[in-house]
Amino acid sequence: MGEVTDYRVEGHAAVITLNRPERLNALSAELRDELTAALEAVRGDDEVRVAILTGAGRGFCSGADLSGAPGEAAEPDQNTLLDEFGWVGRQAMSVYRLDKPVIAAVNGVAAGAGMSLALSCDVRVGSENSRFKSVFIERNLSPDSGLSFFLPRVVGQSRAADLIYTSRAVDAEEAFRIGLLDRLVAQDQLLDTALEMAAQMAQWPPLALRSSKRVLQHNVEVGLEDALRYEMTGLSYARKAKNDARESMAAFREKRKPDYTGT
């Protein structure tokens, strides 16, 4: 896929690996661009039904790369001046708004924007090496990259406040206990577990899977009446896959595993 991002497809799952291990996969401009391109490749490939995001080496992602030499910033162009989100917002949306499930295989530290990146995924599987740290307040910053949106929805408001205001590190056991991690496995089983999870998701009708993600995310943010209306919208998307609908019923009658195509 690129110089600092590895991309491969196994079955119906795309494995995207952040590949700057010497920097604990800190987000440089190049890595951000390649990650966005990889996610767009997932979006555009109907054979890919689930994405797995992980890091090379000891870290998942240590946040924004702050190692560049300080100097006078270039004069921003008009697009930059009018950009209300910046790269931090676009990163969050590129993962969260991808209407295919994204699994974070958190192989090491996830800090700052790297913690935000992990939380923007649908589910997280981790190992004894997983560690989370919000970091922002230590850099004289408030949270960005969607952390203030994702973290309270994952662990609750007061726990999110604890983690942001204290900037304390959360080890794997606590992360699993409070919901930052959905599954906790041995490090040597991490990617295999993520691939197994992806296979469990990918076995179902692709349009129903994508509609389920849309509905779930939309309805976290709205009231009951709007949620019920959007559920009906999601059903209409899934029903457009008429071949999969017939295959579902045929497989049930014939007591066999269905073969879904997304059509």
Instruction: Examine the pLDDT at 170 and tell me if it is beyond 70.
Output: yes
pLDDT at 1: 65
pLDDT recorded at residue 69: 43
How large is the average pLDDT for residues 89-117? Answer: 95
pLDDT tens figures, 183-200: 999 999 999 999 999 999
Q: How far apart are CA 83 and CA 21, in angstroms?
A: 30
Using an 8 Å Cβ cutoff, are 25 and 49 in contact? no
> Where is 116: in which H helix or E strand?
helix 113-120
Summarised one tens digit per residue, pLDDT across range 55-81 is 999 999 999 998 764 444 567 777 776
> What pLDDT is attached to residue 189?
98
Give me the pLDDT at residue 253, please. Answer: 87
Name the pLDDT band for 82 (thresholds 50, 70, 90).
low
- CATH architecture of the region 5-66+77-202: Alpha-Beta Complex (3.90)
**Structure tokens, 150:** 């994702």
**What is the side-by-side order of every strand in the sheet holding 13-18?**
5-10, 13-18, 50-55, 102-106, 123-126, 183-184
Name residues whose C-beta falls within 8 Å of residue 25's C-beta, 6 or more positions apart in sequence.
18, 19, 31, 55, 56, 57, 59, 60, 61, 62, 114
Average pLDDT value for the chain: 92
d(CA 193, CA 4): 24
**pLDDT over 60 (residue 161):** yes
pLDDT at 68: 60
* Mean pLDDT to the nearest integer, 108-112: 98
Looking at mean pLDDT, say which of 126-130, 231-235, 250-254 comes out highest. Answer: 126-130
Side-chain half-sphere exposure of 237, counting CA atoms within 13 A: 17
For residues 23-43, average pLDDT: 95
* DSSP bridge partners of 109: 59, 131
Domain ranges of the chain: 5-66+77-202, 206-254
Beta-ladder partners of 183: 125
Residue showing tokens 């269905």: 258
